[in-house]
Amino acid sequence: MDLLTEFSNAMRTDQDRPEKLALLVGKLTDPGLDVDSYVRRLDELADQVEQSMPVGALGRARAEALIAVLHGEFDFFGNVENYYDPSNSFLHRVLDTRLGLPITLSLLYMAVGRRLGMTLRGLGLPGHFMLEYSDTNGVWILDPFHAKVVASEELSYYLTQVFQQPIRISVSLDQYRTDTGAWMLRILNNLRSVYISQHRLRDALSVLNYMVIVEPEEATLWRDRGMLHFGLENMLSAENDLRRYFLLRNRLQLFTGEAEIVFSGVAVGGWMPEAQQEPSQEDQRVLFVLKQIRDEIRRLN
**77-110 per-position pLDDT tens digit:** 999 999 999 999 999 999 999 999 999 999 999 9
pLDDT in tens, 150-176: 998 899 999 999 999 998 887 688 899
Quote the CA–CA distance of 259 and 94 in Å, as a whole number.
49
Contacts of 89 (CB under 8 A, 6+ apart): 25, 101, 103, 104, 187, 190, 191, 194
270 pLDDT tier (thresholds 50, 70, 90): very low
Of 271, 225, 276, 222, residue with least CA distance to 247 = 222
The model's confidence at residue 236, banded by pLDDT at 50, 70 and 90, is very high
SS3 294: helix
Whether 183 contacts 110, CB under 8 Å: no
For the entire predicted model, the pTM comes to 0.90
Please tell me the distance from the alpha carbon of residue 95 to that of residue 109, in angstroms, as a whole number: 11
User: β-strand 77-78 against 99-100: which pairing, if any?
Assistant: parallel
The dihedral over CA atoms of 167, 143, 77, 39, expressed in degrees to the nearest 10, equals: -130
Percent of the chain with pLDDT strictly greater than 70: 93
Q: Is 233 left (phi over 0), alpha (psi -120 to 50) or beta?
A: left
> Which positions ≥6 away from 125 have C-beta within 8 Å?
155, 159, 169, 176
| Cβ–Cβ under 8 Å, residues 179 and 185 | no
- Read off the pLDDT band of 260 (50, 70, 90): very low
Distance CA 106, CA 147 (A): 11
Using CA atoms, how far residue 238 sits from 223, 227, 229, 231, in Å, is 9, 7, 5, 9
